[in-house]
Amino acid sequence: MATKTTAKKLAAAKSSKKKEDTAKKNAWLKYSDRELKQAEALCEEYKDFISVCKTERECVKEIVRQAEAAGYKNLDKLKKVKAGDKVYSVNKGKAIALFVVGTRPLEEGMKILGAHIDSPRIDIKQNPLYEDTEFAMLETHYYGGIKKYQWVTIPLAIHGVVCKKDGTTVDIVIGEDPKDPVVGISDLLIHLSQDQMKKDASKVIEGEDLNVTVGSRPLKDEDKEAVKANILKLLKDKYKIEEDDFMSAELEVVPAGPARDYGLDRSMVMGYGQDDRICAFTSAKALFNTKAIDRTGVCILVDKEEIGSVGATGMHSLFFENMVAELMEKMGDYSELKVRRALANSHMLSSDVGAAYDPNYPSVMEKKNCAYMGKGMGFNKFTGSRGKSGSNDANPEFIAKLRAALEKHKVSYQFSELGKVDQGGGGTIAYIMAKYNMEVIDSGVALHNMHAPWEISSKIDIYETEKGYEAFLKEL
């Protein structure tokens, strides 16, 4: 089939092999002690971030705090914006767009980093509280794709908001302070599990059985549902909320406790919600580290990715497009056509987590095209399932530019697919932005345990990915 390899071809192959080696080498080995300290410092900040930010709202609040500390101003409150300004806009407390306004007209396009800040979890229903055999329980409806059996018998915390009829909002975080109580979902003892153990994994714990235990102590002098009454009294005393207020609440049950170093060598991070706060944190960080820029730099962090990017705060919302229009208007250069051109001329890294090769589960991976922990920033030309269905298939011309930028800045990167063909699949926000006709590619950090209560990432991949975002903002 192929012709004999000439000497020239051999030499070319040799030199390209050398390049490939640098791209695929374990990233831990390339750094000096000083740089490793920087990586460690970044990961400490990251651990703090995911330990505190366990809902989309908590992420937005913290990113706003960091943005304001870095000199960003609220776009909604500004009349005029000019090149060099740093601005942000929040969408209903659950999504945010941040801009470093470039020296070139917006019409020439933006450099966009996008990630999502919602994570799989267990949401509390609107009429949740009930008593059964002197237990107070909360009804739930899980959010996103979870293996339900992973969420029982672990300490859980409640995060969220209760919005009251008087217009006030009560912020709730229960279960994070070591002195706080935690809640949880029970599982059957092995001794009585003969029938349960024969069920499919998807049925071992069923959706309607994810009821959260919140109490077992009756209120004195109360004869009807005294345990429930006691919980209601506690809620009223501490938060001034009534039972009906659950109707206008968003309460999310999440794994309790902080992120931790993982591995005896502390090379990894174990934490909740790394999908996709790992990309959100590093994307925002890269934008904060960008002081001056030619084409406007953007970081958009959105909600609802795990349930289809729907709703006013998901990527399908017109929020981002509207904010681009607002920005142009405030720069004195708005037209409908210019907004369209700005979007079409943009480049985007749509960032989300991927699956890292796991030695415990080799059968789902094709080893030449899967991501490995420690090998740096991950790229997926496409995602989707069953023949790339539902994916954004990035253009090779754009990928080539990206590779040049990453190599110029010595970023370790890898190209991969989620797993074997026809083994399953997944989607991201990439295709939604690509409809504006901009160049988009999926990128991010590869994890173990994706969507489990405790997800695992490699510290060096976090560092490489942040550097990769900076390289993109500098060069594309």
**Candidates 69-77, 91-99, 191-199, 268-276; binding stretch for Mn ion (CB under 5 A):** 268-276
Rounded-to-integer distance, Cα 156 and Cα 141, Å: 15
275 vs 470, which CB is nearer to Mn ion?
275
**DSSP state for residue 8 in the 8-state scheme:** H
Question: Which range touches Mn ion (CB under 5 A), out of 241-249, 254-262, 272-280, 391-399?
Answer: 272-280
Query: Quick one: which of 466, 465, 94, 118 has its CA closest to 288?
Result: 466
CB of 445 to Mn ion, least distance (A): 10
Whether 59 and 53 have beta carbons less than 8 Å apart is answered as: yes
Q: Pick between residue 235 and residue 315 the one whose CB is nearest to Mn ion.
A: 315
Residue whose CB is less far from Mn ion, 235 or 280: 280
CB 112 to Mn ion: min, Å: 17
Q: Whose Cβ is closer to Mn ion: residue 355's or residue 438's?
A: 355
Residue 95 φ/ψ, nearest 5 degrees:
-150, 160
- Binding status of residue 276 toward Mn ion by CB under 5 A: yes
Residue 430 CB, nearest distance to Mn ion (Å)? Answer: 11
Min dist CB 74 to Mn ion, Å, is 27
Residues between 349 and 378 with contacts to Mn ion, criterion CB under 5 A: 352
> In whole angstroms, how close is the CB of 469 to Mn ion at the nearest point?
16
Strand 439-444 to 135-143 pairing: unpaired
Is 380 or 412 the residue whose CB approaches Mn ion more closely?
380
Residue 5, class by beta-carbon neighbours within 10 Å (0-12 exposed, 13-18 middle, 19+ buried)?
A: exposed
Decide whether 114 or 374 has the Cβ nearer to Mn ion: 114
- Strand pairing partners for 192? none
Per the CB < 8 A criterion, the answer to whether 238 and 146 are in contact is no
Q: Find the angle CA(139)-CA(143)-CA(147) to the nearest 5 degrees.
A: 95
C-beta closer to Mn ion: residue 56 or 275:
275
Instruction: Specify the residue, 184 or 273, whose C-beta has the smaller distance to Mn ion.
Output: 273
Task: Report in angstroms how near the CB of residue 305 gets to Mn ion at its nearest.
Answer: 6
CB of 54: closest distance to Mn ion in angstroms?
15
Helix (H, G, I), strand (E, B) or coil at 111: strand
Q: Which of 275, 417, 461, 464 binds Mn ion (CB under 5 A)?
A: 275
Which of these, 269, 431, 441, lies nearest to 351 by C-alpha position?
441
Cross-strand pairs, 100: 86, 297
Q: Quick one: which H or E segment has residue 200?
A: none
Binding to Mn ion (CB under 5 A): which residues in 302-341?
none
225 forms part of the interface with Mn ion (CB under 5 A)? no
Q: How does DSSP assign 412-429, residue by residue?
A: -EEE--SSSTTS-EE--S
Using the minimum distance from each CB to Mn ion, give the nearer residue, 196 or 423: 423
Separation CA 474–CA 103 (nearest Å): 13
Q: CA-CA distance, 418 to 385, in Å (whole number)?
A: 10
Residue 466's beta-bridge partner residues?
none
| Residue 353 beta carbon to Mn ion: minimum distance, rounded to whole angstroms | 5
- Beta carbon of residue 400, minimum distance to Mn ion (angstroms, whole number): 26
* Residues facing residue 389 across a β-bridge: 385
Q: Shortest gap between Cβ of 120 and Mn ion (angstroms)?
A: 6
User: What is the footprint of Mn ion within residues 97-156 (CB under 5 A)?
Assistant: none
Q: How far apart are CA 72 and CA 425, in angstroms?
A: 38
Name the residue nearer to Mn ion (CB basis): 72 or 320: 320
Binding region for Mn ion (CB under 5 A) out of 191-199, 275-283, 356-364, 391-399: 275-283
- The distance of closest approach from Cβ of residue 145 to Mn ion in the complex, given in angstroms and rounded to an integer, is 7
Query: Binding of Mn ion at residue 85 (CB under 5 A)?
Result: no
Q: How many residues bind to Mn ion according to rule CB under 5 A? A: 3
**DSSP, res 174:** E
User: How is 54-84 classified by DSSP, letter by letter?
Assistant: -SHHHHHHHHHHHHHHTT-EEGGG-S---TT
Secondary structure string (H, E, C) spanning 260-320: EEECCCCCEEEECCHHHHHHHHHHHHHHHCCCCCCCCEEEEEECCHHHCCCCCCCCCCCHH
Residue 232: CB minimum distance to Mn ion, A: 35
Asked if 443 and 349 count as a contact pair (C-beta separation under 8 A), the reply is: yes
In terms of CB distance, is 56 or 276 closer to Mn ion? 276
Contact code string over 335-354 relative to Mn ion, x by CB under 5 A: -----------------x--
Three-state SS for 348? strand
Which C-beta is closer to Mn ion: that of 85 or that of 276? 276
User: Cβ 273 to Mn ion, closest distance in Å?
Assistant: 10
Q: Give the nearer residue to Mn ion in terms of CB position, either 31 or 382.
A: 382
Residues of this chain that interact with Mn ion (CB under 5 A) are: 275-276, 352
